[in-house]
Structure 1
Amino acid sequence: MLLLPGWLNSGPGHWQTLWEGYFGDLRVEQHDWQQPRRGDWMARLDEVVMDLPRPALVAAHSLGCHLLAAWAAHSQHRAKVLGALLVAPPDPAQEDWPAALRPSWNQPVLQPLPFPSLVLHSTDDPFDRAGRAPALAQAWGARCVNLGTRGHVNAESGLGLWPQGRSYLRSLTEAG
Structure 2
Amino acid sequence: MNEAESPTVVIVPGLRDHVADHWQTHLAGKLPKVRTVPPLEQDKLSREARVAALDGVLADIDGPVVLVAHSAGVAITVHWVAQQHSRDIRAALLATPPDFESPLPDGYPTIDELRANGWLPTPRQLLPFPSIVAASTNDPLARFYRVAEMARDWGSRLVDIGAAGHLNPASGYGPWPQAEELLEELGRTADTQG
2:145 paired residue number: 131
Which structure has the larger Rg? 2
2:25 alignment counterpart? 17
Residues paired across the two proteins, number: 175
1:57 to 30, 46, 66: 66
Distance 2:55 2:20 in 1: 25
> Partners of 2:136 and 2:15 in 1: how far apart?
18
TM-score w.r.t. length of structure 1: 0.90
Identical-residue share of aligned pairs (%): 35
Unmatched 5+ stretches in structure 2 = 1-8
What stretches of structure 1 move > 6 A for 4+ residues in a row? Answer: none
1:101 aligned residue: 114
Deviation, 1:130, is 6.2
Alignment check: 8 A CA contact 1:88 1:120 kept:
yes
Distance between the aligned counterparts of 2:166 and 2:43, measured in 1?
A: 19
User: What SS does structure 2 have at the residue aligned with 1:123?
Assistant: coil
For the aligned residues, what is the CA RMSD?
1.9
Residue type matched to 1:73 in 2?
A: A
Q: 3-state DSSP class of the match of 2:158? A: strand
TM-score, normalised to structure 2, is 0.82
Answering whether residue 163 of structure 2 is matched by residue 149 of structure 1, we say: yes
Amino acid at match of 1:98: P
* Structure 1 segments unaligned to the other structure (5+ residues): none
CA distance in 2, matches of 1:130, 1:53: 36
Distance in 1, matches of 2:40 and 2:86, equals 21
Aligned match of 1:35 in 41, 44, 48? 44
Shift of 1:89: 0.3
